[in-house]
Amino acid sequence: MRSKALLCGLLLGTACSGATLAGDSGEGTNEIISTDGPLRLTVTDAPTAMGIMFARPVASVTGSGVTVANTRYGSECVYAVTGHADVGANTITLRIAYAERLTLCSAEVRALTYRAEVNGLSQKAYDLQVIHEESGRMDTVLVQHIVLP
């Protein structure tokens, strides 16, 4: 029995490598931060009410990069959210994947938000494409031309 608990702990530690759990802010909000090359991904969830209309992702230019943010219904208990950014000569492709976790979660309505910061970019024009992946389906949710000053 002890070896099963140790194995589960090792698997959980391996699955969470590269991610930092910042925990509960005291307001019922959870936060996980991960990095992957030029990408810093912050995922939060918080209680919300039904009936709120969440829009498509929004991109904004920062000093040396671009930030993409999006909110949808869901929680960190239900979904493992990961991201990867491919930066080309004039393109940025941001992939955000939602993978269902095999866990028991409360029926509380929550808003799941990610903030993806792609940094270290050259000051020039890029074609940004944001792709969401879930349950074997890929959807392009944002295509935008951005210019870093």
The full DSSP string for 63-120 is TTEEEEEEEEE--TTTEEEEEEEEE-SSEEEEEEEEEE-S-------EEEEEEEEEES
Percent of the chain with pLDDT over 90: 70
* Domain extent listing, the chain: 20-147
Tell me how many degrees the CA angle 33-38-40 measures, rounded to the nearest 5: 15
SS3 (DSSP) at 13: helix
Can you give the pLDDT at residue 119?
96
Mention every residue, 6+ apart, whose C-beta is less than 8 A from residue 16.
Answer: none
Can you give the pLDDT at residue 15?
39
Asked if 81 and 114 touch (Cβ cutoff 8 Å), the reply is: yes
State pTM to two decimals: 0.80
Can you give the pLDDT at residue 40?
98
Question: What's the rounded mean pLDDT across residues 80-107?
Answer: 95
Q: Tell me which H or E stretch contains 126.
A: strand 125-134
Can you give the pLDDT at residue 52?
84
Alpha carbons within 13 A on the beta-carbon side of 81: 31
Mention every residue, 6+ apart, whose C-beta is less than 8 A from residue 77.
Answer: 45, 101, 103, 105, 106
Question: What's the rounded mean pLDDT across residues 108-130?
Answer: 96
